[in-house]
Amino acid sequence: MDLTIHQNCPSCGAGIVLSEADRLITCPYCDVQNYMVTRGPLRFVLPHKAPDHILPQDMFYAPYLRFKGNVFYCKGKFLKYKVVDTTQKGMVASALPPSLGLRPQAMPVILVTDKLTGHFLPQTIKAKKLVERAAQLTVIDSENIKSPFYHRAYIGETVSCIYLPLYIDDDTLYDAVTNKALGRGGSEKNILARSMRYKSGWAPHFLATVCPHCGDLLRGERDSLILSCYNCHSSWQEQKGGFQQIKWSAVASAYKEMYYLPFWQLTVRATGVVLDTFADLLQQTNQPLVIQQRHKERKLVFWIPAFKVRPSTFLRLGKNITLSQEKIGNGVQEMPRSKHPVTLPRNEAVQSLKSVLAGIALNKKNLLPKLSRVHFQPLETELRYLPFFDRGHDFVEEQTGISIAQSVLRFGRKL
């Protein structure tokens, strides 16, 4: 589930409400648009109800790490997946609850800024450990499969830090959200010695959404990772604190009213298995096709959804579009007006290649044991928009007939 975040506009300071995935922020008061850039995991704090005699500068904040994403794994002859959303303590402290439970989803959180006074307890458990614990959930889910793991990937994951507010009153540590006592006998002096103040590096910074080429306004939706300029027909992604242009195209359609979905078109080189051309892909995955010369001349290209959807749909789209790529026409440099935002970055599309390859394979028993030695090197990347008919409940791709439910797309923006 998504978090609801209270944040101040970086331009006028007015209070605005965001969701966890929002990057393109348009203030409803000053109408200024900014793109939010993070320097690490976003940090939030739960709202508290501490007594009036507890001053803000005397509050303590304990870190909890939140992992949300899709875990794909190959074990035995099975390709499995699981949606994981877990929050766990970011430090070793027996008095603290092991998890925040449903509180981050049930109440709005506040983005940590320099206006939040108080003492922050150090995070002693690394985010990598949280990811390992998330992976253990897949182990539990597959205990009845005795074969070894061949591959595991985390796609669309988000790691953030949520602080639980605390205070000490009469030598007792309290949860400031519920005002319930967590334990007695804690030394406030020792806790103060371990804590630290707000660090400026925690705060996100904001970029003006002006096209570096022509100076026109870059456009996108709230959760867009790629912004578009409709004046010079260019696309841009944030990288190293600035906007970098990316290669893109849209497949031309014979119809005007089309909805375009973005896919990462990845031309790759594979090692560890004979997988150099499209013909090799068909052979390695046991597709019921007669290999033609045109298959041998086609490069090895995967088509990966550039948007978040539930795991089963992600694998189905990656598989079917990749196998149907011969039917897809060439791209043109004409920016479609009605298009789905890019919410899955290129690097995560690359991470998904083994999972999509496993999804394509018809005889998984033969292919999956090879995955551990398969490595993909991206050679070329292009963001390609494909045209879909709007059929009311579904979108249907014009050239391949592949469909996706509109409700699945809407839900995917909350993953």
Span 338-388, pLDDT tens digits: 999 999 999 999 999 999 999 999 989 899 999 999 999 999 999 999 999
Instruction: Give the 3-state secondary structure of residue 306.
Output: coil
Please give the pLDDT value at position 225.
97
Write out the two tokens for 283. 């052979």
How large is the angle between the packed helices 311-323 and 353-360, nearest 10 degrees?
70
Write out the two tokens for 30. 């000053």
22 vs 126 pLDDT, higher one: 22
Please give the pLDDT value at position 383.
98
Please give the pLDDT value at position 193.
82
Please give the pLDDT value at position 64.
94
> Token match 């796609």: residue?
155
Instruction: Give the 3-state secondary structure of residue 185.
Output: coil
326 vs 188 pLDDT, higher one: 326
> Token match 């022509």: residue?
214
Q: For every residue of 120-181, which 3-state class applies, written as one string?
A: ECCCCCCHHHHHHHHHHHHHHHCCCCCCCEEEEEEEEEEEEEEEEEEEEECCEEEECCCCEE
Q: Which among 147, 379, 361 has a CA at the least distance from the CA of 273?
A: 361
Which helix H or strand E contains 293, and what residues bound it? Answer: helix 293-297
Amino acid at the residue 137: L
Instruction: Give the 3-state secondary structure of residue 230.
Output: coil
172, 188 in Cβ contact below 8 A? Answer: no
Q: Which among 23, 384, 415 has a CA at the least distance from the CA of 237?
A: 23
Please give the pLDDT value at position 334.
92
Please give the pLDDT value at position 137.
61
Q: Is the pLDDT of residue 2 over 80?
A: no
Q: Is the pLDDT of residue 220 over 80?
A: yes
Please give the pLDDT value at position 414.
85
pLDDT in tens, 17-66: 888 889 999 888 898 899 999 888 889 999 999 999 999 999 999 999 98
Region 103-110 average pLDDT: 87
Would you give the distance in Å from CA 84 to the centre of its chain?
A: 12
Cα–Cα distance, 109 to 121 (Å, whole number): 18
Please give the pLDDT value at position 135.
63
259, 390 in Cβ contact below 8 A? Answer: yes
Instruction: Give the 3-state secondary structure of residue 71.
Output: strand
pLDDT in tens, 144-170: 556 778 888 889 888 889 999 999 998
| Weakest mean pLDDT among 11-15, 194-198, 361-365, 397-401 | 11-15
Please give the pLDDT value at position 139.
56
Q: Is the pLDDT of residue 142 over 70?
A: no
Please give the pLDDT value at position 17.
87
Please give the pLDDT value at position 252.
92
Please give the pLDDT value at position 186.
59
Region 88-92 average pLDDT: 89
**Class of residue 382 by CB neighbours under 10 A (exposed 0-12, middle 13-18, buried 19+):** middle
Give 308's pLDDT tier (boundaries 50, 70, 90).
very high
Cα–Cα distance, 205 to 302 (Å, whole number): 34
408, 309 in Cβ contact below 8 A? Answer: yes
Q: State the chain's mean pLDDT as an integer.
A: 90
Q: Which among 93, 70, 210 has a CA at the least distance from the CA of 153?
A: 70
